[in-house]
Homo-oligomer: A and B are copies of this chain.
Amino acid sequence: MQTNIEESIKIYGKKIDDLLKEIIPPDRDDYLSEPIWHHLRTGGKRIRPAICLITCKELGGNPDEALHFALAIEILHNMFLLHDDIEDEDTMRRDQPTVWVKYGVANAINAGDYLLARAYHCILISPIPSDRKLKLLEIFTLTYEKTVEGQALDINARGETDYTVEKYLELVRLKTGYYLACGMVGGAVVASGNNIEGTIDKIWALGKLMGPAFQIKDDLIDLTVGKGRGGVIGSDIKEGKASFLYAYTSELANDNDKTALIEIMMKQREDTTDDNVQYVLDIYNRYGAIDHAQKYANDLIKQTYDIIDEIPTTNKTVFKDIANFMSQRMT
């Protein structure tokens, strides 16, 4: 059976949204619902949870049994967005003021903490046997932890003078890789119980490839159409964020270009002019960083195909579709 990913996302998205409203009621007068729903209403395509459910179904499981875990990943994702927006001092997300801007830093940190509690609660009430539930809790906790480790590298990478592609890849595997694989791994656990270690390892390996692929594409989007934060181009440059472009160029650039690059990256966001952004873009182009990034991301996707060929399912297409889909922009 061929599965159309976008169609599945639409169908599963409705189920996810219904359960989300149960787990986090939108109208409670508790200082938590309001900031959380201000954030949740700004959008999100429910792609991560949908991919969990698609994986579960493709491996012979009942997607309804994976629904709580799928939602937990979506909640975790939003918890990270709330905390990351404070950490990165982002004032806009999807053309709306971020939660910390609208409700203050204290409420934004605390609302993120609440989301995490509800994510764990959601897994704990999953309609599945205890052993699988514990396995899901392990996967979820590992993913949460590795993502935080990646974020620690990210926070402290700003303007690092000896930044390399290798450092970038380590960061991205941690911050994005576990996270992208987590839903698929969970879907596999629900489908097949605990006797699928081999498949689980393969799906984690997929994540290690898809994470960088996704992030490199995201880095490129920031330089072309902007990340939906008021349509601003070059937000990563203003933030001094160590993108693939920055890592690659840092390794190649001559001393003059490298010094100029670091100087602009280290500037405070409000002091970085549009001319500065253009200057960095020119340096990136001079070293072919943008072309290289595009090619590198596409190569990673091709590598995932080899792993997908080893996953025990008759329908390889759906996993390849997922890999392609996840390497595109999913915010």
Contact = CB atoms under 8 A, between A and B. Distances in A.
Interface of A: 30-32, 83, 86-88, 104-107, 109-111, 113-114, 116-118, 120-121, 124, 130-131, 133-134, 137-138, 141-142, 144-145, 148-149, 151-153, 155-156
25 contacts: A30-B152, A30-B153, A31-B152, A31-B153, A32-B148, A32-B149, A83-B109, A86-B109, A87-B110, A107-B155, A107-B156, A109-B109, A110-B155, A113-B116, A113-B144, A113-B151, A114-B145, A114-B149, A117-B148, A120-B137, A120-B141, A121-B141, A121-B145, A124-B138, A133-B134
Given A30-B149, A131-B130, A87 B114 contact: no
Contacts of A109: 83, 86-87, 109
A148 B110 contact: yes
A160 to B, nearest CB: 11
A136 to B, nearest CB: 11
A103 to B, nearest CB: 9
A105 B30 CA distance: 25
Contacts of A133: 134
A113 B153 CA distance: 14
A232 B68 CA distance: 47
Contacts of A110: 83, 87, 148, 151-152, 155
A130 B116 CA distance: 22
Contacts of A116: 113, 116, 144
A302 B133 CA distance: 41
A120 B117 CA distance: 11
A87 B113 CA distance: 12
A113 to B, nearest CB: 5
A213 B280 CA distance: 59
A118 B145 contact: yes
A239 to B, nearest CB: 11
A113 B31 contact: no
Nearest to A87: B106
Contact of A32 (B106, B138, B152): B152
Report which residue of A31, A113, A121, A141 has the largest number of chain B beta carbons within 10 angstroms of its beta carbon: A113
A201 B124 CA distance: 20
Contacts of A88: 106
Contacts of A141: 117, 120-121, 124
Of all A-B residue pairs in the complex, the 9 with the closest CB atoms, nearest first, are A117-B145, A87-B106, A31-B152, A120-B141, A106-B155, A114-B148, A31-B156, A113-B148, A130-B130
